[in-house]
């Protein structure tokens, strides 16, 4: 019988890996809370239409990567490939238009059928920040600051750089699209097949093509910044001034785009050179047309998603968990009192290791493997005198302590 393996593109989070994963999520949650973001969770699957509408029927994610299936009721259901659409759907479902600014943080697993590689899996995890109902550039500055502060708190801000662009408002974007399509049509013979198909449905996506031939064509393409109207230019200037004011450096990248029409104004990514091809660790932008695309009332929005696995690869090992106290019975008569003592200490906030069975030697070895700081030894003699032996497992020193004062004796191990 072959050894069982996880499904390709998925991975097990064993304890050490899970500590890194949790450290990323817990740090992000704490930083987002300091910025006034409340936590939200939406279902892990939605009706397929939610993602088809928001990500575009012809996008690669919808056409090639989504895990979609018909449930037993005949409904088309999709495992979420990203968080924003579900949060937008929840905003509409619960009529939260009067709750703006709606500022939320979320985290959880996502699913995309992609070719697995370093930093890219078919089941992966994201942290997510969204602000709905704020059309002013202050929201853009805020969500970018949250991302920068999370990276700072994780100790990896210096390993990333913020890349920034503007997509303009719909009027600017439409003019730029017209000019861009004309330019690419003049260079059709030099474009890849993927870019030729994008030219018909999503020409801005050609700007971030990785194909070498495409990149040579893109190098001479018109720049969106040259086609911004006054409103769009002023908006982008306000975002840049705000970032300068709070000391967040950035690099302008005119090829940083979002292909769908509901994206407007600010697009940004925090990228690193330390993960190979999968360099974006946080990516986001403004999507003022998204709620309306889902059938809701026009509502401004901006947000970002960050890859937990990618961030976990960059951080140093998180602080180790607290070292436990090992409660070790000596002889059958001490088994029940030891169980009660372990429960008492846990209720008082101690991490306690209590082996299920074995001799004194085996239990002490188990305590050593668990990196216990000390062992509390209980035998018939100690119980008869109302004491316990406390042994420091680093120094080997030990003493007797009355059971009713044990918590005080162990306070430094709490």
DSSP line for 177-233 = HHHHHHHHHTTGGGS-HHHHHHHHH-GGGGGG---HHHHHHHHTS--GGGG--HHHH
So what's the pLDDT on residue 1? Answer: 43
Backbone angles phi, psi at 321, to 5 degrees: -65, 160
What percent of the chain is modeled with pLDDT above 90?
69
Please give the class, per CATH, of domain 325-413.
alpha beta
Task: Find the mean pLDDT for residues 7-36.
Answer: 95
Helix orientation angle between 137-153 and 15-34, rounded to the nearest 10 degrees: 140
So what's the pLDDT on residue 199? Answer: 85
So what's the pLDDT on residue 68? Answer: 92
Task: Find the mean pLDDT for residues 105-125.
Answer: 89
pLDDT surpasses 80 at 196: yes
Q: Where are the domains of the chain?
A: 15-169+229-314, 325-413
Task: Find the mean pLDDT for residues 137-158.
Answer: 97
So what's the pLDDT on residue 360? Answer: 86
pLDDT surpasses 70 at 59: no
Please give the class, per CATH, of domain 15-169+229-314.
alpha beta
Per-residue model confidence as pLDDT tens digits over 265-304:
999 999 999 987 768 999 999 999 999 989 999 999 999 9
Task: Find the mean pLDDT for residues 383-388.
Answer: 94
Per-residue model confidence as pLDDT tens digits over 208-221:
788 888 889 988 99
More confident of the two residues 258 and 68: 68
So what's the pLDDT on residue 255? Answer: 83
pLDDT surpasses 60 at 10: yes
Least confident of 35-49, 118-132, 257-271, 327-341: 257-271
Sheet with 352-353, side-by-side order of all strands = 352-353, 325-330, 374-379, 387-392, 398-402
In the predicted model, what is the mean pLDDT of the chain? 91
pLDDT surpasses 80 at 382: yes
Band (57; pLDDT cuts 50, 70, 90): low
């Amino acid at each position: 019988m072959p050894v069982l393996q996880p499904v390709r593109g998925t991975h097990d989070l064993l304890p050490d890996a899970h500590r890194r994963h949790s450290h990323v999520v817990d740090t992000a949650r704490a930083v987002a809370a300091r910025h006034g973001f409340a936590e939200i969770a939406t279902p892990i699957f939605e009706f397929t239409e939610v993602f088809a509408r928001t990500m575009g029927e012809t996008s690669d994610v919808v056409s090639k990567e989504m895990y979609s299936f018909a449930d037993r009721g005949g409904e088309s259901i999709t495992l979420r490939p990203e968080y924003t659409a579900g949060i937008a759907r929840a905003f509409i479902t619960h009529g939260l238009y009067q709750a703006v600014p709606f500022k939320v943080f979320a985290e959880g697993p996502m699913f995309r059928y992609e070719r697995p590689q370093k930093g890219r899996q078919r089941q992966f995890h994201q942290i997510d920040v969204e602000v709905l109902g704020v059309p002013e550039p202050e929201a853009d500055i805020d969500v970018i600051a949250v991302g920068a502060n999370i990276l700072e708190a994780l100790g990896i801000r210096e390993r990333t750089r913020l890349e920034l662009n503007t997509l303009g408002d719909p009027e600017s974007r439409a003019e730029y699209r017209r000019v861009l399509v004309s330019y690419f049509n003049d260079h059709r013979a030099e474009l890849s097949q993927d870019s030729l198909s994008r030219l018909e449905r999503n020409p801005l996506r050609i700007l971030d093509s990785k194909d070498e031939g495409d990149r040579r064509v893109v190098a001479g393409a018109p720049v969106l910044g040259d086609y911004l109207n006054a409103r769009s230019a002023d908006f982008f200037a306000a975002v840049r001034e705000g970032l300068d004011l709070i000391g967040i450096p950035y690099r302008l990248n005119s090829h940083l785009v979002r292909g769908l029409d509901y994206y407007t104004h600010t697009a940004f990514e925090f990228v690193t050179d330390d993960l190979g091809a999968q360099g974006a660790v946080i990516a986001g932008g403004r999507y003022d047309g998204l709620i309306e695309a889902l059938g809701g009332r026009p509502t401004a929005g901006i947000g970002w998603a960050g890859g937990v696995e990618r961030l976990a690869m960059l951080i140093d090992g998180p602080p180790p968990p607290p070292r436990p106290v090992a409660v070790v019975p000596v002889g059958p008569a001490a088994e029940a009192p030891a169980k009660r003592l372990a429960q008492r200490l846990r209720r008082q906030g101690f991490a306690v290791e209590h082996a299920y069975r074995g001799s004194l030697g085996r239990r002490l070895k188990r305590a050593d493997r668990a990196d216990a700081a000390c062992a509390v030894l209980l035998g018939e003699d100690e119980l008869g005198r109302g004491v316990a032996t406390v042994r420091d497992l680093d120094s080997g020193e030990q003493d007797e302590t009355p059971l009713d004062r044990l918590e005080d004796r162990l306070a430094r191990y709490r």
